[in-house]
Amino acid sequence: MAPAQLVHVAFMDDASHFVASTAAGSHVFSCNSLKRMLHKPEFTGAEVASAGLLGPSMPNSLAVVTRRRPSNKSGGVEEEGRPVVHDYAIHHWVWGQTNGGKPLVLNPSGAVRGVRLLGDHMLVAGEEKAALYDVHGHREKEVSTGPNPLGLCAMALGAGRTRTLVYALPMPVPKGAVQVCRRGRPGSVVEVRAHGAAVSCLALSPDARLLATASSRGTLVRIFSTADRAKLQELRRGSDRADIHCIAFSSDSKCLAVSSDKATVHVFPVTVNGIASSMPEDDGVLLPPVPSVPSPAPAKANEGSSRLSFLKGYLPSYFGPKRSLAQFRLPEGTKYLVAFPPQHQHPCNVLIVGMDGSFSRCVFDPVEGGATQQG
């Protein structure tokens, strides 16, 4: 009997565990031992759509999104020629301390496309709106995102004493823009005009200072300051179009990993001191300049690059963005998610989990480049 097909995989925020879900249930595994730590079996009359994890610095939490068809006279397939919309529910457990316990169940009014857990909050991305819930299931905030079929959303706790909750979502308009919101500060939304094409993937650094985005073209990943929307760095995945599946920062925000449908994981160094004064061409669209933070002039400039500097905004971006320092080739035909384990425990490691049930721990050299896959 063939194993059940996975419908969703996700890492815990510190990459110590990951959740793998089939339509029948969700399983939580340790990334170190690959031992199954938790199993939530089949939901009566429903199928699992996705799941999210939180821990271990806070109570370990698992949120499972299920969907079911509402009962009707036509048997739940169609009613007067119209398809029946799924009913969605979010089941939220705190495990490890209460042995799973009884879940908090939320019933959003529409489809659920993505869910993130952080601290005492849950961010739920719907088809055109996102909502922030507290630990008791009370909706604190609702934000319009425009069409968001991929359920794009990200959360992080800001640095400093206040540890403000920061979350990032697509904007309804303009296309390719991202909104960075801070809980409890309604007037502090930062609008980041990231790309000329629609945003296909986004991530926040663990300290919420950096936002990384990719567009539907999939050639570039851009890093912005969440404080003032300044573009800090541009990274090149490749020159051919691709679907970016996952972007992840390391725990110290010094590296970034990117997976795509090209069956390759790229690891980039994050150097946020190289701030450009303008945004070069992206996907054939010349974007307007954004504010930048001045950086010290280099002690010795290269004459050739200096002569071309005035053309920077007009030359193809292929010549400017930083390339990856390591690449991991993977079997084709499946979707992969990436994460970095804690750097003080496993420096220069990347974890990769696939929708085909595969799991890999890879090591890269941060100085010389190159990579090895440990399996």
Angstrom CA distances, 206 to 113, 125, 216, 248, 254, stand at: 23, 20, 24, 10, 11
Mean pLDDT of 189-206: 96
Residue 187's pLDDT band (cuts 50, 70, 90) = confident
Helix (H) / strand (E) element for 306: namely: helix 303-308
Could you say which DSSP state residue 180 is in? E
User: From CA 223, how far away is CA 326, in angstroms rounded?
Assistant: 18
Share above pLDDT 90 across residues of the chain, in percent, rounded to a whole number = 50
Amino acid present at 40: K
What pLDDT does residue 46 have? 77
Supply the mean pLDDT for the chain.
80
Say if residue 344's pLDDT is above 90.
Answer: no
Residue 62's pLDDT band (cuts 50, 70, 90) = confident
User: From CA 161, how far away is CA 13, in angstroms rounded?
Assistant: 20
Say if residue 9's pLDDT is above 70.
Answer: yes
Of 160-169, 218-227, 240-249, the poorest mean pLDDT is in: 160-169
Task: State the maximum Cα–Cα separation within the chain, in Å, rounded to a whole number.
Answer: 77
CATH superfamily assigned to domain 1-70+85-145: YVTN repeat-like/Quinoprotein amine dehydrogenase (2.130.10.10)
**Three-state SS for 337?**
strand
Of 28-32, 96-100, 248-252, the poorest mean pLDDT is in: 96-100
- Taking alpha carbons only, the member of 9, 8, 6 closest to residue 339 is 9
Say if residue 124's pLDDT is above 60.
Answer: yes
Give yes or no for a contact between 95 and 102, defined as CB atoms under 8 angstroms apart.
Answer: no
Give yes or no for a contact between 143 and 168, defined as CB atoms under 8 angstroms apart.
Answer: no
Of 67-71, 145-149, 225-229, the poorest mean pLDDT is in: 67-71
Angstrom CA distances, 375 to 48, 296, 353, 360, 372, stand at: 28, 43, 11, 5, 9
Return contacts of 367-370, CB within 8 angstroms, 24+ apart.
369/325, 369/326, 370/326
Mean pLDDT of 287-300: 35
User: From CA 228, how far away is CA 214, in angstroms rounded?
Assistant: 19
Residue 1's pLDDT band (cuts 50, 70, 90) = very low
User: From CA 255, how far away is CA 274, in angstroms rounded?
Assistant: 15
Residue 205's pLDDT band (cuts 50, 70, 90) = very high
For 133, residues 6+ apart whose C-beta sits below 8 A from its C-beta are: 106, 121, 122, 123, 124, 139, 140
Question: Would you list the domain boundaries of the chain?
Answer: 1-70+85-145
For 49, residues 6+ apart whose C-beta sits below 8 A from its C-beta are: 7, 8, 65, 66, 67, 88, 112
What pLDDT does residue 61 have? 82
What pLDDT does residue 23 have? 86
Tokens of 244: 């970016």
Q: What is the pLDDT of residues 82-114, one digit of tens each?
A: 555 558 888 887 766 544 467 888 888 889 999
